[in-house]
Structure 1
Amino acid sequence: MIFRQITHDDLGCASYLIGDEDAGVAAVVDPKLDIDGYLRLARYFGVGIEHILETHNHADHVSGHGRLAAATGATIHIHEEASPDYDHEALADGWELELGAVRVRAVHTPGHRPEHTAFTLTDTRRGPEPWAVLTGDTLFVGDIARPDLAVDKEQGAHGIFHSLQDKVLALPEDCEVWPGHLGGSLCGGPGMDMKVSSTIGYERAHQELLAIADEKEFVEQTTASLGPQPPNFENIVALNRGPLLRESIEAHPLAPRQVDSHQRDGALVIDVRTELQFDEAHIPSAVCITALRAGFGSKLAWLADPEQPVVIVGRDDEDARQAVGLAAAVGITEVAGYLAGGMTSWREEKRRVERVTRLTVDELHDRWESDRDSVQVLDVRERAEWEDGHIPGSVHEPYHDISDVPEGVDPDRPVAVICGSGQRAAVGASLLERYGAGEVIHVVEGGVPLWQRRGWPVDAPGTTEA
């Protein structure tokens, strides 16, 4: 039997190549947009990819089913309620597919989306019971799927409750759980683990939500603290429902003069280098989203209008081209091009650059403690993080909601932008500068959690300032 998990680490997505080497046949479940890995594995194992299985119309990333079907001639299978606008074979609960000795069975598990389907895997050479279940966006390692991406959140939560209790958790205790997402995805909650797999028995024993037998209580708990919905998700769902995307996105190299021209015409310039490189020198009004750490695509999708042209600035051309691929995976395909030669070419032409001041958490505290009026603090974390504790007197605005200088921030006074680690603060600082704040400070090497661990003053429900 062939079984391989292939991840898209930037988005926290997992896909699977399954099949039978002896029979020479394989299928791919939930393919990512970059299909080269599946084709390489298929050649390595000497199998043909004849089937593509989708657990649902994905809301957080663009599927590679169109490209993979074009490359292999494989049939795309998805639940009948998905109603895609492309050639496919509709499946229903109980549908089965034989890949040599491997039997795949569809288990309709609505909730995250009405068409959502899990797939159990049985190796008939070894036994009749399923040894694994590809749970898609129903059950994750350490968490469950969010219920609010296709229907009313309460309706979705009721659906997930029955899908889990009546179907997924009815599988054998030792059945392996292989999810559609790992930690970092926006399709689940904060409990999602980076671990790649688990078992039904372990998740049942260690997930508090799975122990809730009362449906009303389950719905209340799963809908009480939902985070922001994945950015651009309606556009991504529309792309995944078809027509099929068969070609890759090509980006063209641009000279500095062309970048300047595109920017004046309304293009959004995205600098994908490290935060340190951005802070030291960047193109005026550029937005800092490093592509060298996980989450680039999600951050970009929060900020970029799918119809707005984007220009990518990297350390070099290869960096930029890779970022273009990551952008396409979240439906950002209007790429005007990338700065040829990276930021070096801009500097060689002696074009104007901007810089962002950097302060460590300790340095910010020293300045804040000596004179609180000397610096404003903008906290760009999510609402739940803010409510767990924040610096007294700070202003709150999640980085992805910054579309102007936030209310409560004086653009003519120094403002320090802080998050949990310094990464989101880099994005927030660049946006604040873009919208006209005069002296922007990027808080680095930690954030509010480090401030709290130092024992310095925080405001939070039930606490008072020290």
Structure 2
Amino acid sequence: MIFRQITHDDLGCASYLIGDEKAGIAAVVDPRFEIDEYLDLARYMGVSIDHVFETHNHADHVSGHGRLAVATGATIHVHRLADPAYAHQPFDDGDEFQLGGLTVRAIHTPGHRPEHTAFALIDTKRSDQPWAVLTGDTLFVNDVARPDLAIEKAEGARGIFHSLKDKLLVLPPEVEVWPGHLGGSMCGGPGMDMKVSSTIGYERRANPTLQIEDEQQFVDEALAKLGPQPPNFQAIVELNRGPLLTEGVQLLPLTPRQIELKRSEGALVVDVRTDLQFDEAHIPGAICAPMHRAGFGSKLAWLADREQEIVLIGRDDQDGHEAGKLALAVGIRKLGGYLHGGMTSWRQEKRPTNTIPRVAVEDLEDHRTAFPDLQILDVRDQSEYDAGHIPGSTLTTWHDITSWPEDLAPELPVAVICGSGQRAATAASLVVRHGGHDVVHVVDGGVPKWGRLGNDLETTTRTSKA
């Protein structure tokens, strides 16, 4: 039997190649947009990809089902409630598909989305009982899915509660759990683990959300830990439901002069190098979005207007190509190109650059003493800020900096801080982009480290709305 998990580390997504090597037949479950790895594996194993199974219409990444169907002739299978606008074979709860000695059984698990379906895997040569379940976006390792990306969030949470209790947790304890996402995905909560798999029995015992037996308590806790909805999730769903998307985008190499021209015409300049390289020298008006850390695609989806052209700045041409692939994965397709030769070519032509000073978190207090008017901008999420923040700091979550932060005085210096320094890198570039002229990026840690160094932190108590 064939079973391979393929992860998209930037998005925290997991897809699967399953099948029967002796029968020469395989299927891909929840394919990512870049399909080369599936094709390479199938060729290596001598099997034909005849089926594509989707657990649901994805909201966080563009599916590769269209590209696989064109490349292999595979049939796309999705629950009939998905109602896509492409040729497919719909299935219902309990339907089974034979891939040689492997049986794939559909288990309808609504909640995350109405059409959501898990797939139980049965190795019929060994047993008539499932040995694994591909849980998609219902059950994760140490967490469960968010309920607010398709329907009213309380209704979604109730659906997930019953899908877990009535459909998945009734499976034998030894059944392996292989989720559709790993830690870092926006489709789950803060408890999602980086582990690639678990078992039904272990999750029953150790997943704190699964210990909740009362439905209303489950709903209340699910809604309480929800983060903000990504801005482009509906657009991604429509791409995945719509006519098959089979082509990428040609990414053109651009000279510094062409970059300057596109910038003057309104293109968004996104610098994908490390935050240190960005702070040392960057194109004026560029946004810092380091590509070599997980979550670049999701971050770009927050920053980019899908109707605005984007040009990419990397260390070299390879950076430009890789960043383009990650942008396509989250449905950002209006890509104007990348800086040929990387930032070096810009510097060689002696074109203007900006810098952002850096201050280590352990030196922030001395910096504040030297600059008594220093404003501290905390760019973490509201829940992080409420749990502990630097006295006198103001909050604007990094992805909400779409203009000059209203609580800051533009004539005074600003220090931008987060939890580790990474979000602050992007936020500092946004503050500068919106008019900041005396901005420092707090690095080598953030607010939690500030507290561990013995400095005071304030908390905020909020009353929940009825």
**Both proteins in one fold, TM over 0.5:** yes
Shorter chain as normaliser: what TM range?
over 0.9
Instruction: Tell me which residue corresponds to 2:374.
Output: 375
Q: TM-score, normalised by structure 2?
A: 0.98
Match of 1:388 in 2: 387
In the alignment, structure 1 segments of 5+ residues that lack a partner are none
The equivalent residue for 2:440 is 441
1:424 aligns with 2:420: no
> What residue is the counterpart of 2:397 in the other structure?
398
Report the Cα distance in structure 2 between the residues aligned to 1:212 and 1:177, rounded to whole angstroms: 19
Aligned to 1:167: 167
2:464 aligned partner:
none
CA distance in 1, matches of 2:412, 2:460: 28
Match of 2:240 in 1: 240
Within-5 A mapping of 1:17-96: 17-96=17-96
In structure 1, distance between residues paired with 2:55 and 2:145: 13
User: SS where residue 373 of structure 1 aligns?
Assistant: coil
What is the identity, as a one-letter code, of the residue corresponding to 1:6?
I
Over residues 74-132 of structure 1, what are the superposed CA-to-partner deviations in whole Å (9 max), with x where a residue is unaligned? Answer: 00000000010100000110111110000000000000000000000010111111000
Q: For residues 404-415 of structure 1, what are the structure 2 equivalents within 5 Å? A: 404-415=403-414
**Distance change >3 Å, CA 372–CA 261, structure 1 → 2:** closer
Task: Quote the Cα distance in structure 2 between the aligned partners of 1:416 and 1:355.
Answer: 14
Q: Distance in 2 between matches of 1:192 and 1:461?
A: 26
Can you give the 5+ residue segments of structure 2 that lack an aligned partner in the other structure? 462-466
Give, in angstroms, the shift of residue 212 of structure 1. 1.4
Find the aligned partners of 2:450 and 2:292 in 1 and give their Cα distance: 26
Residue 139 of structure 2 corresponds to residue 139 of structure 1:
yes
Shift of 1:247: 1.1
* Contact 1:13/1:180 (8 A) holds in 2: yes
Q: CA deviation at 1:371?
A: 5.5
Please, which moves more after superposition, 404-413 or 137-146? 404-413
Aligned to 1:327: 327
Deviations 1:291-334 (A, max 9, x none): 11100000000010111100000000011110000000001100
Shift of residue 374, structure 1, vs aligned partner: 3.5
> How far 1:225 sits from its partner (Å)?
2.2
Q: Which amino acid aligns with 1:411?
A: P
Matches within 5 A, 1:21-420: 21-368=21-368, 370=369, 373-420=372-419
Q: Secondary structure at the match of 2:440?
A: strand
Q: Is the 8 A contact 1:281 1:353 kept in 2?
A: yes
Instruction: State which drifts further: 244-253 or 426-435.
Output: 244-253
For the residue of structure 2 that corresponds to 1:400, the secondary structure is helix
Shift of 1:375: 1.4
- Tell me: CA distance 1:347–1:372, structure 2 relative to 1, closer, same or farther (3 Å): closer
Q: Is the 1:389–1:458 Cα contact (8 Å) retained in structure 2?
A: yes
Secondary structure in structure 1 of the residue aligned to 2:458? coil
Contact persistence 2:401–2:427 (CA under 8 A): yes
Q: What CA deviation, in whole Å up to 9, does each residue of 1:189-209 have, x standing for no partner?
A: 000000000000111101122
- Is residue 97–residue 105 contact of structure 1 (8 Å, CA) maintained in 2? yes
Q: In the TM superposition, what is the alpha-carbon distance from 1:390 to its structure 2 partner?
A: 0.5
C-alpha separation between the residues in 2 aligned to 1:176 and 1:378? Answer: 45
Instruction: Give, in whole Å, the separation in 2 of the partners of 1:351 and 1:382.
Output: 36
* Per-residue deviation, 1:365: 2.2
* 2:103/2:124 contact within 8 Å kept: yes
**In the aligned structure 2, how far is the partner of 1:372 from the partner of 1:438?**
15
Measured after TM superposition, the shift of residue 256 of structure 1 is 0.7
Number of aligned pairs? Answer: 462
Question: 2: distance between equivalents of 1:87 and 1:61?
Answer: 20
Asked if the contact 1:381–1:399 (Cα under 8 Å) also holds between the matched residues in 2, the reply is: yes
What is the CA-CA distance between 1:349 and the residue it aligns to? 1.0
> Aligned AA for 2:189?
G
CA contact (8 A) 1:59 1:230 kept: no
Secondary structure, counterpart of 2:156 in structure 1: helix
- The Cα offsets for residues 21-43 of structure 1, whole Å up to 9 and x where unpaired, read as 00000000000011000001001
Contact 1:13 1:181 in 2 (8 A): yes
Matched AA of 2:380: R
- Give the CA deviation at 1:214: 1.2
Contact 1:271–1:286 (CA<8 Å) still a contact in 2? yes
Aligned-pair CA distance for 1:461: 3.3
Name the CA distance, whole Å, in 1 between partners of 2:113 and 2:96: 21
Task: Report deviation, 1:372.
Answer: 6.8
Q: Which residue of 1 aligns with 2:451?
A: 452
Deviations 1:141-166 (A, max 9, x none): 01000000000110000100100000
Contact persistence 2:142–2:208 (CA under 8 A): no
C-alpha distance in structure 2 between counterparts of 1:102 and 1:22, whole Å: 11
TM-score, normalised by the number of residues in structure 1:
0.98
Distance of 1:44 and 1:388 partners within structure 2:
51
Q: Is the 8 A contact 1:60 1:231 kept in 2?
A: no
The alignment partner of 1:374 has SS state of coil
Tell me the amino acid that sits aligned with residue 307 of structure 2: E
Q: CA RMSD in A?
A: 1.1
